[in-house]
């Protein structure tokens, strides 16, 4: 038996027992995304059981029901008595003018059997910095929250209208710059071809994982890289073929202990080497 709680990541369940994918997918249609290997990489390492339950419009108790036969044992957690208390709206939302909020109801797209992610990303791209996109959905879009917070959202807030309607607000960042926390201590190094080759030579082939994300559509490059870094053993390096310098990835890694080398060969050709310091 493996002990888990509502805060256990979905990736931990899958690693312990691959049958948990089908078990979780059986609980609700939004959770069927776990069957897709690419979406599973995006979701599983960032979503807890409690978050997945909200996303699927189900409960932790239902997760217990399907996971216990697979050998998982839920540990009791100390209750504070206010887990279900609604979170107050943040100041950035209460002070926002209604014309600063773009409301986008994606329920018709989902009802037609399609995934609205591409449309949402396109819509968010049109939102002006400092303004807000509100996604109206019939479940809490937890993976989308993680995704946009890693991309261009400065803050998020979920408002529960009722058990079938949720409004998720995304405040767009004012400006996009390279993170000073990265550049300040030289964790990020822009190398010429000679220096880049020199640092790469420190990692022989058996210690280097090479991936090509240059032909992937956003946000797949960022999430593919983050997933590979999650699995990267100490002492190994990740060699990346990209088509641009990934600003939002650098922001995501700013407070993590990676050394990042970038060789920008020109338009559409960027090489990167990442490893733990």
Q: pLDDT at residue 156 above 50?
A: yes
Give me the pLDDT at residue 275, please. Answer: 94
Give me the pLDDT at residue 212, please. Answer: 95
Angle between helices 142-151 and 49-56 (to 10 degrees): 110
pLDDT, average across residues 270-276: 93
Mean pLDDT of the chain: 83
Residue 196, C-beta contacts closer than 8 angstroms, at least 6 positions apart: 261, 262, 263, 271, 273
Distance CA 106, CA 120 (A): 8
Question: Which letter, b or e, does each residue of 120-144 get, where b requires 16 or more Cβ atoms within 10 Å of its Cβ?
Answer: bbeebeebeeebbbbbebbbbbbbb
Q: pLDDT at residue 80 above 60?
A: no
Give strand pairing partners of 210: 239
Distance CA 222, CA 156 (A): 20
From the number of C-beta atoms within 10 Å of its C-beta (0-12, 13-18, 19+), residue 148 rates as: buried
The phi and psi torsions of 159 (rounded to 5 degrees) equal -110, 125
Per-residue pLDDT reduced to its tens digit, 195-219: 999 999 999 999 999 999 988 877 7
Do 91-172 and 180-276 fold alike per CATH? yes
Q: pLDDT at residue 182 above 60?
A: no
CATH no., domain 2-74: 1.10.3910.10
Give me the pLDDT at residue 183, please. Answer: 44
Q: pLDDT at residue 82 above 70?
A: no
Q: pLDDT at residue 54 above 50?
A: yes
Give me the pLDDT at residue 84, please. Answer: 52
Of 47 and 194, which is predicted with more confidence? 194
Cα torsion 237, 243, 246, 249: sign: negative
Q: pLDDT at residue 66 above 90?
A: yes
> Which tokens in the block code for residue 127?
């939102």
Give strand pairing partners of 168: 135, 158
Spell out the CATH class of 180-276. alpha beta
Q: CATH 3.30.110: does it fit domain 91-172?
A: yes
In the chain, where the domains are located: 2-74, 91-172, 180-276
Distance CA 45, CA 231 (A): 11
Distance CA 77, CA 92 (A): 33
Calculate ∠ Cα 47-53-54, nearest 5°. Answer: 90
Of 251 and 259, which is predicted with more confidence? 259
Provide the pairing of β-strand 208-212 with 153-162: unpaired
Q: pLDDT at residue 179 above 50?
A: no
Q: pLDDT at residue 175 above 70?
A: no
Distance CA 177, CA 248 (A): 9
pLDDT, average across residues 71-94: 73
Give me the pLDDT at residue 186, please. Answer: 55
* Residue 134, CA atoms < 13 Å, CB-side half-sphere: 16
Q: pLDDT at residue 86 above 80?
A: no
DSSP string across 208-253 = EEEEE-TTSPTTHHHHHHHHHHHHPPTT-EEEEEESS--HHHHHHT
Per-residue pLDDT reduced to its tens digit, 130-152: 899 999 988 777 777 877 776 67
Of 29 and 200, which is predicted with more confidence? 200
Taking the whole predicted model, whether its pTM rises above 0.75 is answered as: no
> Which tokens in the block code for residue 77?
């957690």
């Amino acid at each position: 038996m493996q002990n888990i709680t509502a805060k256990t990541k979905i990736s931990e369940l899958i690693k312990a027992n691959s049958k948990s994918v089908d078990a979780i997918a059986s609980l609700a249609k939004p959770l069927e995304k776990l069957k897709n290997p690419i979406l599973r990489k995006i979701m599983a390492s960032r979503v807890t059981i409690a978050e997945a339950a909200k996303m699927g419009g189900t409960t932790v108790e239902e997760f217990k029901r399907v996971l216990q036969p697979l050998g998982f044992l839920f540990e009791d957690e100390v209750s504070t008595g206010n887990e279900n208390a609604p979170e107050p709206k943040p100041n950035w939302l209460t002070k926002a003018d209604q014309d600063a909020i773009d409301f986008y109801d994606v329920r018709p797209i989902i009802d037609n059997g399609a995934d609205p992610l591409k449309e949402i990303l396109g819509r968010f791209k049109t939102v002006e910095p400092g303004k807000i996109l509100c996604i109206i959905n019939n479940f809490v879009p937890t993976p989308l929250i993680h995704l946009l917070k890693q991309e261009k959202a400065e803050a998020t807030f979920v408002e529960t209208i009722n058990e079938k309607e949720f409004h998720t607000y995304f405040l767009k960042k004012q400006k996009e710059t390279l993170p000073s926390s990265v550049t300040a201590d030289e964790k990020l190094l822009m190398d010429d071809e000679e220096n880049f080759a020199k640092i790469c030579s420190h990692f022989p082939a058996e210690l280097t994982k090479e991936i090509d994300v240059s032909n992937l559509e956003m946000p797949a490059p960022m999430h593919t890289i983050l997933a590979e870094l999650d699995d990267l053993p100490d002492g190994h390096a990740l060699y990346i073929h990209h088509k641009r310098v990934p600003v939002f990835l650098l922001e995501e890694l700013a407070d993590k202990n990676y050394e990042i080398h970038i060789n920008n060969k020109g338009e559409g050709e960027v090489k990167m080497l990442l490893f733990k310091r």
